[in-house]
Amino acid sequence: MINMLHIRNYNNGTDRDQVIELWKSIFNYKSARNDPELSIDNKLKINDGLFLVAVKDNNIIGTIMGGHDGHRGWIYSLCVSPESRNKNIGTELLKKIEERLIENGCVKINLQIIPSNKGVKLFYEKNGYITEERIHMGKEISENIP
């Protein structure tokens, strides 16, 4: 059992440092609004049960965040550590967050892929996602970014 993969809710007491390290090594976000500390603190304020980690041998080897605003569900921060890839862990994380979003009544799940990472489309296609023609727009809220 000890070596088994376990997917569970994020625990700020035990997981924070490992998750931050994992995100920094995989996503390498440049903008302050994507700072891992800020993202985690903001998610903890919402406390919606949509932040999961994959754990093996007490190590965090993957994460996924979901969001549900009552209208749409969203997937964020899906990652698996490079040495644990292609073992279905990403798919398991995705399925688990989908289950939670579906339990919430979510009728559609969206996600975004940055252009430099478009290869990952294949992964999502294998999991039932399709590309939709949209113009994505956004606005930064500077007063909430330290």
Ligand X SMILES: CC(C)(COP(=O)(O)OP(=O)(O)OC[C@H]1O[C@@H](n2cnc3c(N)ncnc32)[C@H](O)[C@@H]1OP(=O)(O)O)[C@@H](O)C(=O)NCCC(=O)NCCS
> Closest residue to ligand X, Cβ-based?
90
Per DSSP, what are the bridge partners of residue 16?
none
Are the C-beta atoms of 62 and 81 separated by less than 8 Å?
yes
In the complex, what is the shortest distance from the CB of residue 64 to ligand X, in angstroms, rounded to a whole number?
8
The end-to-end CA distance of the chain, in Å, is: 42
Using the minimum distance from each CB to ligand X, give the nearer residue, 105 or 115: 115
Q: Which amino acid is at 37?
A: E
Using the minimum distance from each CB to ligand X, give the nearer residue, 74 or 105: 74
Sign of CA dihedral 31, 34, 36, 40: positive
In the complex, what is the shortest distance from the CB of residue 82 to ligand X, in angstroms, rounded to a whole number?
8
Using the minimum distance from each CB to ligand X, give the nearer residue, 57 or 142: 57
Are the C-beta atoms of 133 and 25 separated by less than 8 Å?
no
- Which residues of this chain interact with ligand X, rule CB under 6 A? 26, 78-80, 85-91, 113, 117, 119-120, 122-123, 126
